[in-house]
Amino acid sequence: MGNNRAGSSGKTNITGDLSYSVDTCARCGFCKPVCTTYPFGNGFEAFSPRAKVHYIKQVLEGKQKLTPEWVDRLYQCTTCERCVENCQTEISLVHLWEALRAETVRQGIGPMPMHAKMREAVDEYNNPYGEPKEERNKWMQPDHSPTEGAELLVFGGCTGSYRMTAMLRTGVTILQRMGIPYAYAGPNEMCCGSPILRTGQLESASRLIGTNLDLFEEMGIKEIVSPCSGCSKTIKHDYPKWAEKLNKNWSGKVQHFSELYVELLRDGRIKPTRRIEKTVTYHDPCHLGRAQRIFDEPREILRAIPGLKLVEMEFNAENARCCGAGGGVKGHYPEMAAQIADKRVLEAVETGADLLVTMCPFCQASFTQSIDKLGVNIELIGVEELLLQSVEG
């Protein structure tokens, strides 16, 4: 699995060269049938990525203005990158959407109201949920003991720390069992900035990223690991550019926990031995799969667990469907996000698997709600939880 596409790591810095990017559109429409949110436009071309590119071209040429109607359409996008994956001229479409969103904010006609509320929460509480800063480390277990001065930082992320905490807790438990020293910033950790960046609110994003970069430097951090696909993508791909822009030092290695687990498996430090006689199907989080090209690692972990049988959904890896939550869609268009999540859960049920597994707290939150609502017979669990169960046997 995997191809040469760069995902959101970017082949072209289109933020600085919008006109070049839109000029290369061949109007083939390959992006249209794969778009996660296009079906919500009742078949109107204006909701397709192709139409959005054409509209942006006209805006750049001064033939169109950014209207509230089009601003709304621009925010109806989960930043899933299915369009990027299928674009025949390899336009970094998600960069384009994000750049235009930032422009709507600059002109005072964006973001959508719930995105502005989310930014207000982040500005006050350092997380989009408006949760108390001092409770950011409540997920920790009594035996979790970070090592002061460790060069590896566990970055929990907001959803991982406040909402779906199992992936973070399990990741830290595995590090401890392996005797790997790790640092943790607790209440000093800020939102990574992903939901703020994706909705074009660059000023707030700049504060969050700048503060986190200062924190990494103060703590002497050389490596970061996160259970969240959005945080790991943002710190891996966006922070180096922002560090340059903000004149800060940062050149550390960034991993999603899946990458670290695979290293531990490959060098024999972690050995799953207990059999788990279950059938699982794996959902590729968009920001882990298409954005970071991490398709094989989670599957390698699952295949290493004795007894576990992996079955694929019809749409998997590069073609995986989205959970519906990303790009601010869950915040401002919750009904749309829920319908997208339902579709993915039903696709998982169709495989006949006992378990739906994923490696992103944000996807996990969406699927939890869908499974409850639909009343379907499939259990949701993180890949790392299965790994830990198998190691403990």
**Would you tell me which residues interact with ligand SF4 (CB under 6 A)?**
25-31, 34-37, 49-50, 53, 77-83, 86-89, 91, 93-94
At a CB cut-off of 8 Å and minimum separation 6, what does 266 contact?
none
Pairing outcome for strands 152-154 and 355-358? unpaired
Which residue lies nearer to ligand SF4 by CB, 28 or 178? 28
Q: Minimum distance from CB of 214 to ligand SF4 (Å)?
A: 32
Contacts within 8 Å (CB) and 24+ apart, 49-54 = 49/83, 49/93, 50/25, 52/97, 53/22, 53/25, 53/91, 53/93, 53/96, 54/22, 54/25, 54/27
Tallying the residues shown for the chain, one arrives at 393
| Rounded Cα–Cα distance for residues 159 and 360 (Å) | 9
Q: Minimum distance from CB of 194 to ligand SF4 (Å)?
A: 14
Question: Hey, what's the torsion of the CAs at 123, 196, 254, 258, to 10 degrees?
Answer: 110
| Rounded Cα–Cα distance for residues 307 and 350 (Å) | 21
Residue 287 token pair = 């920001």
Q: Minimum distance from CB of 38 to ligand SF4 (Å)?
A: 6
Which residue lies nearer to ligand SF4 by CB, 86 or 127? 86
Which residue lies nearer to ligand SF4 by CB, 104 or 255? 104
Residue 338 token pair = 């829920």
Which residue lies nearer to ligand SF4 by CB, 57 or 248? 57
Which residue lies nearer to ligand SF4 by CB, 53 or 192? 53
Q: Minimum distance from CB of 299 to ligand SF4 (Å)?
A: 23
Which residue lies nearer to ligand SF4 by CB, 182 or 367? 367
Which residue lies nearer to ligand SF4 by CB, 83 or 118? 83
> What is the rounded end-to-end Cα distance, in angstroms, of the chain?
31
Q: Minimum distance from CB of 46 to ligand SF4 (Å)?
A: 12
Which residue lies nearer to ligand SF4 by CB, 185 or 329? 329
| Rounded Cα–Cα distance for residues 221 and 255 (Å) | 13
The answer to whether the beta carbons of residues 358 and 167 sit under 8 Å apart is no
Q: Minimum distance from CB of 96 to ligand SF4 (Å)?
A: 9
Of 79, 111, 124, the C-alpha closest to 230 is: 79
Which residue lies nearer to ligand SF4 by CB, 36 or 390? 36
| Rounded Cα–Cα distance for residues 217 and 369 (Å) | 38
The answer to whether the beta carbons of residues 271 and 391 sit under 8 Å apart is yes
Q: Minimum distance from CB of 49 to ligand SF4 (Å)?
A: 4
Which residue lies nearer to ligand SF4 by CB, 22 or 231? 22
Q: Minimum distance from CB of 265 to ligand SF4 (Å)?
A: 32
| Rounded Cα–Cα distance for residues 131 and 146 (Å) | 23
Q: Minimum distance from CB of 322 to ligand SF4 (Å)?
A: 6
Q: Minimum distance from CB of 93 to ligand SF4 (Å)?
A: 6
Of 297, 224, 222, the C-alpha closest to 265 is: 297
Of 135, 70, 136, the C-alpha closest to 107 is: 70
